[in-house]
Amino acid sequence: MSVSGTVREHYTPLADYPHVRGNATLRDVFAAIAGNRDAADPFRNVLVLDDADRLVGVLGLHDMLHALLPDYLKHQPTHFEGAADDVESLAPLWQEDCAEQCRLAAQAPVGDDVTRISASVGPDEPLTKAIYLFATHPVNVLPVIEGGRVVGVLRLVDVVAEVGKAVRHE
């Protein structure tokens, strides 16, 4: 493997990567990543796919936590009397309700919290294209698309590891 190779040599097949369908709940998402929590390099994102394995988006760790927040912490409140950008001062109010909010959020669909991914790669494209996309897009994963369907995921950490080998001349 090297940076002169193709995406196919580096991506994780969809069967080995956590993914859920578009109607998944937050419980489903956390269950999808729980299986490798103790792995040396755990997954930090869950792909969200439609029934035809087309990409809907991704849920990262920040998205998962954001889905737990009560409405008054998710968006800028319109009737908050404090400083306009001091919403975080409301976070302690959530202390008593956090466990209950987690139980309620477990049943809620995650559709509103999915992050759309604007870049993808094909399995036979050069790895250098993926390096470019990672360098110019704020994403940690690139879906690998073949025939309109997601067949796998290329992770930033894996690409950086290959780039590191090239930089160190290994």
Q: What is the pTM of this model?
A: 0.80
- pLDDT tops 70 at residue 123: yes
End-to-end distance of the chain based on CA atoms, in angstroms?
11
87 band by pLDDT with thresholds 50, 70 and 90: low
- Sequence-distant (≥ 6) Cβ neighbours of residue 22 within 8 angstroms: 48, 49, 50, 51, 56, 111, 114
Mean pLDDT of 110-135: 93
- How high is the pLDDT of residue 29? 92
SS3 12: strand
The residue type at 136: T
In 3D space, the residue among 6, 2, 3 whose CA is nearest the CA of residue 126 turns out to be: 6
Residue matched to tokens 């466990």? 99
Nearest-angstrom CA–CA distance, 141 and 44: 9
pLDDT score for 85: 59
Q: What is the pLDDT of residues 147-167, one digit of tens each?
A: 989 999 999 999 999 999 999
Q: What is the mean pLDDT of residues 97-106?
A: 85
Q: Identify the CATH assignment for 7-167 out of 3.40.50.10090, 3.20.10.10, 3.10.580.10, 3.50.50.60.
A: 3.10.580.10
Give the side-chain half-sphere CA count within 13 A for 115: 22
Predicted local distance difference test score (pLDDT) of residue 159: 95
Q: Is the predicted pLDDT of residue 11 greater than 90, yes or no? A: yes
Element containing residue 20 per DSSP (H, E): strand 19-21
